[in-house]
Amino acid sequence: MRRLMKKITTLALIMSLFASAFAIASEVNIFNARHYKADGELYAKFTNKTGIKVNLINGKSGALEKRILEEGADSSADLYITADAGRCGAMDAKGALQGGLTSAAIKSAVPSSFRTSKWVGIAKRARIIYYSPERVTGAELSGMTYEGLADPKWKGRLVIRKSSNIYNKSLVASLIKNNGKAATAAWAEGVVANMARTPTGNDRAQIMAVAAGEADIAVANTYYLALMLSGKKGPEQQAAAKKVKAFFPNQNDRGTHMNVSCAALVKGAPNKANAVKLVEFLLTPESQEHFTNNTFEFPMIDGVSPSPLVVNNLGLDFKQDMKTKLASYGKNQAAAVEVMTAAGWK
């Protein structure tokens, strides 16, 4: 009897260990800084297709990054998903990421300039110029570039977010990569001299400032205009969005500055294989259509069209900067902050 009980106990222990191992093998932990309800719906689809449970730890980028770094090898994070390549690059520079996002499916889906072995773009966005068609002429915009934002003709006519904003850090980092630090420092001084007000508010606030006549041009990401036009942010913002037009800079040279929402593979990820499967799923046509129709970003992969709101109000026919590797955003981030601070960019 004792032998039988011992065998039963041993068998139960083995089954328990097996169940625990299976549970661990059937989940993936995402430290998520993208705050879209639609993303949660997409992860539910992944679970239904694969049986892999997605555990979401939501938070602001800074808090999640701090937790990952402090926990180190004890972190439960598999993927860090956030809304800017500069953040993924900065985490890589701090030694928080590992290689492994190199499957054939990922490589074939994502252009090399939009990924590394440690993080991958899952949706694209462009940081562009919005203008008042009542106060800005076609001649003023002809051949307009990011570099042109420092032209004295825009004095008192420009609004843009604070220097601490990650989208601006990445934009300035890309200018450093293309033009050098000294030239970018002079450019930043020109931009500050042209500001219509001290930087305040988010990207939508910049668009609204142009609509209200506080400025003639603004810098903001593409998806914000579609979000405002959709009515999801209320009738006031919808009306404001209808008063501005979009312009894609640098069409005569390298192309418009591009950025991504990115998925980064965290060092020591306990469910690495599942993390790779999830990234592959996010790059399928089904997932890409979900992004474009709900968050109004540009698709990362070929063969998927942006939301009709984006197509009708922003267009598709623009030259993207495919030359500047997005990995440079993280590498040049400290220099970007330095030149903006020196210029007095609040």
Q: CATH no. for residue 154? A: 3.40.190.10
Rounded-to-5 percentages of helix, strand, coil across the chain: 50, 15, 35
Domain count of the fold of the chain: 2
Instruction: Judge whether 310 lies within some domain.
Output: no
Same structural domain for residues 134 and 236?
A: yes
If you search the block for the tokens 């956030």, which residue do you land on?
82
Q: DSSP for 270-315, please give it.
A: TTHHHHHHHHHHHTSHHHHHHHHHHT-PBPSSTT-PPPHHHHHHT-
Let me know whether 7 and 146 are in one domain: no
Q: Which of 13-17, 167-171, 329-333 has the lowest mean pLDDT?
A: 13-17
Q: Looking at the structure, do residues 133 and 108 belong to the same domain, yes or no?
A: no
> What pLDDT, on a 0 to 100 scale, did the predictor assign at position 35?
84
Task: Give the CA diameter of the chain.
Answer: 95
Q: What average pLDDT score do residues 85-109 get?
A: 97
pLDDT, tens digit, for every residue of 122-133? 999 999 999 999
Q: pLDDT confidence of 25, banded at 50, 70, 90?
A: low
pLDDT at 9: 42
**Position 4 confidence tier, pLDDT thresholds 50, 70, 90:** very low
Tell me whether residue 315 is in a domain. Answer: no
Residues 165 and 109 in one domain: no
305-345: per-residue pLDDT in tens? 999 999 999 877 899 999 999 999 999 999 999 999 999 99
Residues 138 and 216 in one domain: yes
Tell me the residue type at 195: M
Mark whether 92 and 132 lie in a shared domain. no
**Same domain membership, residue 115 and residue 248:** no
d(CA 74, CA 77): 9
Averaged pLDDT for residues 224-252: 96
In a domain, 243, yes or no: yes
Model pLDDT, residue 170: 98
The tokens for 77 are 């994070």
Measure the CA–CA gap between 269 and 100, rounded to whole angstroms.
11
- Residue 229 belongs to a domain: yes
**What is the per-residue pLDDT for 199?**
98
- pLDDT, tens digit, for every residue of 330-340? 999 999 999 99
Instruction: Give the pLDDT of residue 309.
Output: 92
pLDDT at 302 over 90: yes
Give yes or no: residues 281 and 267 share one domain: yes
Tokens of 314: 């922003």
Residue 233 has pLDDT above 60, yes or no: yes
Secondary structure letter of residue 268 according to DSSP: T
Q: Are 279 and 245 in contact (CB under 8 A)?
A: no
Report whether pLDDT(17) > 60.
no
- Tokens 């209320």 label which residue? 234
Residue 13 domain flag: yes
pLDDT for 36: 87
Q: Is residue 313 part of a domain?
A: no
Beta bridge partners of 128: 220
**Are residues 186 and 272 both part of a single domain?**
no
Do both 145 and 175 map to the same domain? yes
d(C-alpha 181, C-alpha 142), whole Å: 26
What percent of the chain clears pLDDT 70, i.e. is strictly above it? 93
Domain assignment present for residue 143? The answer is: yes
Q: What's the chain's Rg over C-alpha atoms?
A: 23
Residues in a beta bridge with 28: 54
The dihedrals phi and psi of 216, each to the nearest 5 degrees, come to -100, -30
Domain that holds residue 12: 2-124+260-305
Residue 249 belongs to some domain of the structure: yes
Give yes or no: residues 192 and 233 share one domain: yes
β-pair partners for 226: none
DSSP one-letter code for 256: B
End-to-end CA distance of the chain: 78
329: closest CA among 258, 270, 267, 280?
Answer: 258
Say if residues 78 and 270 touch (Cβ distance below 8 Å). Answer: yes
Task: Report the candidate in 291, 256, 282 with the shortest Cα–Cα distance to residue 106.
Answer: 282
- Say if residue 91 is in the same domain as residue 230: no
- For the entire predicted model, the pTM comes to 0.90
